[in-house]
Amino acid sequence: MIDVLIIGAGITGSLIARKLSSYNLNVHVLDKENDVGNVTSMANSAIVHSGYDPVPGTKKAKFNVLGNSMYPKLCEELDVHFKMIGSLTVALYEEQLKLLENLAERSKENGVKVKLLSADEVRKLEPNISSEVKGALLAPTAGIVNPFTLTVHAMENAVDNGVCLHLNEEVIKIVKNGNFYNVVTKSNSYQAKVVINAAGVHSDQIHAMVEPIDYQITARKGEYFVLDHYKEGLVNHVIFPLPSEKGKGILVSPTTSGNYIVGPSSEINDDREDVSTDKLTLDEVKRQALDMVPSIPFNQAIRTFSGNRPTPSTHDFIIDFAKCDKHFINVSGIESPGLVSSPAIAEYVVNELVSQVLTLTKKESFNPYVRKRIDLAKLSYKERNELIKKDPNFGYVVCNCEKVTLGEILDELSRSVPPRSVKALKKRTRAGFGKCQGGFCQPLVIKALAKHFDIPCSEVPLDGPGSEICKFVTKGGNDK
């Protein structure tokens, strides 16, 4: 019998699993995708918000501020790139200055330190900002993070501490059977004392399998540009416009990998699985971004992408027991600022909710640290050469754009939550994330995956089952 079954392996589900793994419990995680963090958690702005914006007194405000304070230690333990670079919310018109003052007052209510800046002070911090800028709100505790590694390493740490992960398991039915729930997927069934619903854009549908619900989740699509490693200093902070009813607006920000990200749009999406992009929407993203930073080199854009945010009709996070039973816990509607809120949400769910229905005893062997990644970019030339002498695979460059070696790929494949697709490996190592977008390295990546899993190249998927890239062998080639 499973003690706790978590549905959803995004950042929230992964961090809840990690927290639960510190107790003597039998914990399992289901996800319908072929990798963890494969939906909303991988297609967001990667911003660690300071917490000045959410309405005071809401769950969003509470968990945003608490989560922000947890990030430095969390990212140290999970070996994740994180930089507290601060954010600037800019006013481009005189009439917007009053709105900045209102945000500053809200910041005080939320317990977030901010500073109102004059136009000259903004220009000193951001030389490329629009000449029309009238002022800005500086939030020093905002930051940027690698959301791919964060989610993967959170789940990896959970698995290292005893959690069982089941991928490609889409839940189709949940039935209460006496003192436990029978959770049925397309291929298996699982019996659990407690179920935690962290299913992202599908969390209302999962909840509705248990009882009638009085809210709904709407997928709100956000489309983005990613710019190449252009140059340092295009922007030094996360640059926001003033927020609106649609969200925080089009931002311009550095990333932890040295790229820049511009977006997102914010439009209701009737198809929760649709992550397409379109020119009209991206043109509007571009226009709004150029209003703030006129020198953005969109000719350096190497990729566009989109993600769906689970927007709840309640306008706040839904974190509570089901009405019918305390053994079913909903963690639903975790839209922005969900990424930054997730560690605090995990603490609350376990300490305040799960503790009411299960006895929690600390696991003496729990280790909060993951095995550190081998990151050649962080090593000196001497350290790299020593590593290559020990293992020549670290001298064989697979991805020239991002300088990813075969040794780094093999290291990722040896971990407890290994990548099982081209996309999953890309998220972990950045192989294929560069200017050519895998045009040159993808065949080598496919070969590395095929060899590790001892399968033909024609069975290596781009993402999930059915997305295989190589269909057949030509000209007498070898399929392995």
Q: Which residues are catalytic?
A: 49
Cβ atoms < 10 Å from Cβ of 64 = 27
> Using the 8-state DSSP alphabet, how is residue 403 labeled?
T
> Whole-angstrom Cα distance, residue 392 to residue 405?
10
Q: CA angle at residue 417 from 415 to 422, to 5 degrees?
A: 95
- Tokens 């640290």 -> residue: 369
For residue 104, the one-letter residue type is A
CA gap 470, 418 in Å, rounded: 21
Rounded to 10 deg, the angle between the 59-77 and 97-110 helix axes is 70
Please tell me whether the peptide bond between 419 and the residue prior to it is cis, using omega within 30 degrees of 0: no
Radius of gyration of the chain (CA): 23
Tell me how many helices (H) and strands (E) the chain has: 12, 22
Residues 269 and 241 sit within 8 Å (Cβ to Cβ): no
Q: 466 CB contacts (<8 Å, ≥6 apart)?
A: none
* Strand 260-263 versus strand 397-399 pairing type: unpaired
Residue 441 identity (one-letter amino acid): C
Task: Give the Cα separation of 79 and 209 in Å (integer).
Answer: 37
Owner of token pair 């005189």: 94
Helix (H) or strand (E) holding 305: strand 301-312
